[in-house]
Structure 1
Amino acid sequence: MIREMRESFGSELDCRVFNTLIYSCSKRGSVELSGKWFRMMLELGVQPNVATFGMVMGLYQKGWNVEEAEFSFAQMRSFGIICQSAYSAMITIYTRLSLYDKAEEVIGLMRDDKVVLNLENWLVLLNAYSQQGKLEKAEQLLVAMQEAKFSPTIVAYNILITGYGKASNMVAAQRLFSGIQNAGLEPDDTTYRSMIEGWGRVGNYKEAEWYYKELKRLGFKPNSPNLYTLINLQAEHGDEEGACRTLDDMLKIGCQYSSILGTLLKAYEKVGRIDKIPFLLKGSFYQHVTVNQNSCSILVIAYVKNLLVDEAIKLLGDKKWNDPVFEDNLYHLLICSCKELGHLDSAVKIYSLMPKSDDRPNLHISCTMIDIYTTMGQFNEGEKLYMKLKSSGIGLDVIAFSIVIRMYVKAGSLKDACSVLETMEKEKDMVPDIYLFRDMLRIYQQCGMMDKLNDLYFKILKSGVVWDQELYNCLINCCARALPVGELSRLFNEMLQRGFDPNTITFNVMLDVYAKAKLFNKARELFMMARKRGLVDVISYNTIIAAYGRKRDFKNMASTIHTMQFDGFSVSLEAYNCVLDAYGKEGQMESFRSVLQRMKNSSCTADHYTYNIMMNIYGELGWIDEVAGVLTELRECGLGPDLCSYNTLIKAYGIAGMVEDAVGLVKEMRQNGVEPDKITYTNLITTLQKNDKYLEAVKWSLWMKQRGL
């Protein structure tokens, strides 16, 4: 219709038509439609006037529409029109959005455009400087306002008092407040509210309370910020009676119970005085908390967080609402909060007093409690909960199985952990997560279940689980004896290619694997890699030294011992034992004695393994006197022979033809509580056969069969 009018009336169509439409939209608060009329006006070549810009800028100010406001403001200046309210609107928008630099630019444009300031302009400028904290400039502006024959209004004083309050300069704010009456004005409700906020910001409860009482005495109503400020001060200064009065005032002005409760908790938690909350919640307020499950839950969570478990339990006992699902979730949240805070006894107390269904226990609560009992070492209590879950017929999920398995592992009941794993494997579509897979690997390794480890490895490969660094380390460490060397090597190389870092244990495991597989070059390369990364330890050196010993590579063995010392490690007993064994078996007795002497001169004390190596080497050479000397030394040091010692001695006596002494050792073993094994009897029979005691050998052979050996 507008376009038709344009065609009919031509240049006679002016801004009055559009102003009428924009005014109508302005009354309705329709910002978007007003903007459309304004843009059409420009498209049709109709020049806006002062009233046009006043209306559209006023609308944009209400909606804080900065982009449209900037467009309209630029158009106004391009037409050379000066609309005082448009300047005010633009400055107000920028100030409200904290775009202070842009607000300053508009103030500069006002000077450039020689705008004659009206009262609104003066007040907007005062507010812009006050909001920025440029209060000296604001006071200078107040003086300039008076010089321009504008008497300061209470609004001007309120703006400055608010600014000083935000800057925590209450001396200046008090000076302005005292000057209000000297200027022939009276403070209004905003003045008192600003003073309350200012004194509250600097923590002066006495002054804030005085202004609050004056506000009420004069018949003014406090606003929500005043009440929140007062509650915070009362919490800080321990004025619970005053806080009760403030709570009543909050209810009178229409604040919601839930909002008040949130403010109250925040104030008292901040100062560590949450224990005073029960004193404040009385009458209708407490009644609301008992019937409103959201408020009830907020309060009990706060109580538990601050160790007021008894108060939380009392409130839960007084509650009037009935929502079993919500209640279960709330109890679970409380128990979890106690667990996270380390208040495990409180968690047990809450659980013991919560309503329960023996027929249908809550899976999540039960699992959390099993975890808590595990942490506390109360494994019997945790097992009882597991048995209840099991008998109830509730299906356990992966997390539940993980928690139960870890309980048994921590309790040292690996057999029970394996039983739970068997139960889990019977569940259809039960796919363990990466954490449970790692637990399973460790359990099977500790139980020596190599077949299970092998099966689990290939199950993990097919599971689709995303492998991380820890899983690679865990798999290699646990499956070292269950997987072929080639597969372990492939797995280790894949780990490196994917950018994951093996830990020291993984390096040591792979060193041991390569050494035992006689892949000495790979073992050496791996050792150098670990050393370059700074991940070698004493075990690494022991392993590579043992590998060189098996290979009879004495040069590299000796070199590695020097490197070990160069890297700051003392030569360990295990390293000495490996070197002794290697030299002894190769018959290099001079080197053997040299190493033995070096070991005795060091801080290393011989162990069973050391003595057994010595007896074995001397026995193989038929040096029975040396064997006897070692045995005497073994007994004198307080260790005494172990199973391996006896087996070695029987073998040595056999080589030396001391049959009766060999047979006597079996009797001695039993007397000392050492049970002979298959090797014992095999060595004894060999001794008898070598010394033509065939009948005795047959008897001992039959004895072995009877023993199932």
Structure 2
Amino acid sequence: MAANPISQGQGLAVFRKQLFSPSLKSNSQPASFLRCYSSQKTENHNENDEQQHRAKQPKSSTPKTKTAKDMARLVNTNPWSSELESSLSTISSSLSKTTVHQTLHLIKTPHKALQFFKWVEVMGFSHNDQSYFLMLEILGRARNLNAARNLLFSIEKKSNGAVKLEDRFFNSLIRNYGRAGLFQESIKLFTTMKSLGVSPSVVSFNSLLSILLKKGRTNMAKNVYDEMLSMYGVTPDTYTFNILIRGFCMNSMVDEGYRFFKDMSGFRCDPDVITYNTLVDGLCRAGKVEIAHNVVKGMSKRSGDLTPNVVTYTTLIRGYCVKQEIDKALCILEEMTTRGLKPNGFTYNTLIKGLCEAQKLDKIKEILEGTMIGGEFTPDTCTFNTLMHSHCNAGNLDEALKVFAKMSELKVPPDSATYSVLIRSLCQRGDYPRAEELFDELSKKEILLRDDGCKPLVASYNPIFGYLSSNGKTQKAEEVFRQLMRRGTQDPLSYKTLIMGNCKEGTYEAGYELLVWMLRRDFVPDEEIYVSLIDGLLQKGKPLLAQQTLEKMLKSSHLPQTSTFHSLLAELLKQHCARESASFVTLMLEKKIRQNINLSTHLVRLLFSRGLRDKAFEIVGMLYENGYSIKMEELVCFLCQSRKLLEACEMLQFSLQKHQSVDIDNFNQVIVGLCDINKLSEAFGLYYELVENKGYQQLPCLDSLKSALEVAGRSVEAEFLSKRIPRQQLLDKSGKSRLQLCCCPPRTTSSQRLFDPSSQFHPDPTSQPLEHIQSICSPKLI
């Protein structure tokens, strides 16, 4: 970032007063790692020409350019409406590709750009591959990733096949998923691209490798690299190796990075200065600064055209500063100037940072006086950040705040690092009101969203997030956190702080949304997060969200307590969520979770009441297969009351098969009911199954069943029953007619009852064969 210039007199006064304050000379705590608090972006060498989607505006004004400017001005200053569309139509009756593309470039907000994109299509303009790619880039860079994805997969349909899907379309969205921290989405899209028959290019592989290595997925990156070579035969280029070298070095695998450096010659890839700078940076980060220095010395020997640049020497200076070898860092600065290279702001700020930590204040004064008088260097945002950071590390927060005030006075723009160091230090001192004021200022100005600042660290804001979430201000904290997410930076502790804050405030849906984002960014929430969300969602009467949360909990390898499962199932049943409850019980059985007989019975009743008989029978079968049961008598009574007599019949047949004790009156009630609705085959079949399984022959309903069979002309079954109607009612010891099936005698086979003289089953020799009876009343099994 180009900071506003400071006059030499002002600058020297500021730094003599602030930087060399006596308070800075004591209690200094050297930082464990040197971080450049730069407001400028690091040069990105991992993208190729296809990413230069923002075309340069022509220097001379042409009619098409004027039309584009007029249209963009209208779109930017008015809400989208039919009136706006009418005004746009009057500006240009016919739209050229140049006009459309230039207008898209000039529209400031992505959603309006998309509306314009759709409008010109309605007006008869045919988009080509260039305009589709441009729109994808606009949406992707603005983090409107869902809209970008929808557009991508609609290209062929919208263009009627005129525009085919290309790898660069996918590459755009893959990169932007990566920038947003959604590396899993990048992988999925890469896989989808291949499944659709779009062959990935070297740019596709470079994009994915960069994303994986930034996430520390070195093994996955190796697999992708091997796939690139063996499966697709794509030849890596210099960009590929620069990505691999930097990625592995940044993941503390310098030896692996150096191996890729040596492999370059095998693919006829000549290392450029970026390659060397990448390797030097990795070696310095690993503490191998002397080796890095030797690599720099060997650059010119490899090729006469290959010489170190400012970045190379600045990296070495930083490496020596980290090791507190300031004299060697100053020697590198001298070597650099001797070679005719002019140090830039990065160089001086890096050196100043190292000198601050080494408490070489006189040397800083000497450098600043020399560079500022000569106009070589003007203190910028990074310089002030370095000064504030040093004051804060030394415990001199008041001095740091004075520097911050001076920045505003001199119109030096602050960046995310400016606010983070002050907010964190204020929180550490317990001055939360002042920290919140700065936090509000940071949020309002949307400083975190500026691409011209250094990438913010979420961890720096955890203290203020914690304070706000503990004091009913989670939404305020979340607004800033979402800005951080849009920059692609994240931290699992921050997610937990905000989720728990939402739970404390009763905004469980907002907490669930953060949970989803947390999982999409490949973080694993702990058990406390899940349990708090599930309990809260149940209290709010949101069992479906609670169920989704529990399922995600299981995928995260956390097993909730049995009581949590039961509470969730009870709430699902309370809200009559039949299908969801059945699915949940299936999940419980898969996870070997103990069942509750009351809840199981309630579920089966609900399924029957909703007409889901097949699912009800399926659930009953699964329960019994896993050693559980339901309250069969209660269920049969419910089915009879609901006039679902066929279902009641099947349930009784099932209970007989499972040898479950059921009151004999239930059988009598069902048989009578079946007779009433003229389901005589089912009624007789149930009685026959009862005789077959339990040996009971006497029921109060037999007279009614026999009469009904005779009226229907079914003499064989009626005759079968007439031989089993008792001459007097059998009574139990209490004088009641209720007989419990659990007291039944052991089961005997049909043939034994037919031909055993001692059996209660005495067939008439003239009656029909047993096979005929069985064919009539063969029970329907579940």
Q: TM-score range by the shorter chain?
A: 0.3 to 0.5
**Under a length normalisation based on structure 2, what TM-score does the superposition of the two structures give?**
0.37
Q: Which has the larger radius of gyration?
A: 1
**Under a length normalisation based on structure 1, what TM-score does the superposition of the two structures give?**
0.41
Q: Which has the higher contact order (CA 8 A, sep 6+)?
A: 2
